Structure 1
Amino acid sequence: MDNKFHVDIDKVIHERARLLILSYLASSNEKRIQFNELKENLSFTSGNLSVQLKNLEEAGYIKIHKKIMDNKPLTSVSLTVAGLESLMEYLQQMEGLINKVKTSRED
């Protein structure tokens, strides 16, 4: 049995809030998701969501779009190609770990 367990996990994605945000964006049919939709559906505070979005944008995983509509600021978020690719790689790594654990338990 191969006991090697080295996986280079993306620490930006691995954090719970950021993983939820990226997963939500990747599973949506919409190209852009409104800030308030993320806030409500993921049960984040405005402050926490803002911080996590900033971290994801700095990593190049999302793009934050800001505009004024009816004299009100409107923020939306979109997943970048790099963000989707990184999320998919992360999920493959997690799937590999899960399969390794399941396989080892079958022995």
Structure 2
Amino acid sequence: MDERRGSEQQKEIGIAFLFISHDMAVVENFSDRVGVMYLGQIVEMGSRAQIFGNPQHPHTRRLIEAVPVPDPTITRPTSARLSGDVPSPVRLLGHEPAPANLVDTGVGHLVARLDQ
């Protein structure tokens, strides 16, 4: 059995994988780079260390906070629940949203501006 890390094998044979999941625990262990989508748009993108070490977008933070902690002695602080209407991913034709303006927060860590 070949024990090399997947990224080493990927470089050697010139292949990339697109992995889609809502399970951020799996994403953290499987991916080198991560893109987070919200309502069909990328709102944050960067290396695994950037996304999980310093999540910038609220949706990224909510996804990471949703990962269960397997230790019953650890109690996580309760995070604020979303309030108000959830934006609809379904829009009338001709009413497409403007593309998210991603800002580089450093070394390729891209985050959607929240003032849009």
Identify, as 1 or 2, the structure richer in helix: 1
TM-score by length of 1: 0.26
TM-score by length of 2: 0.25
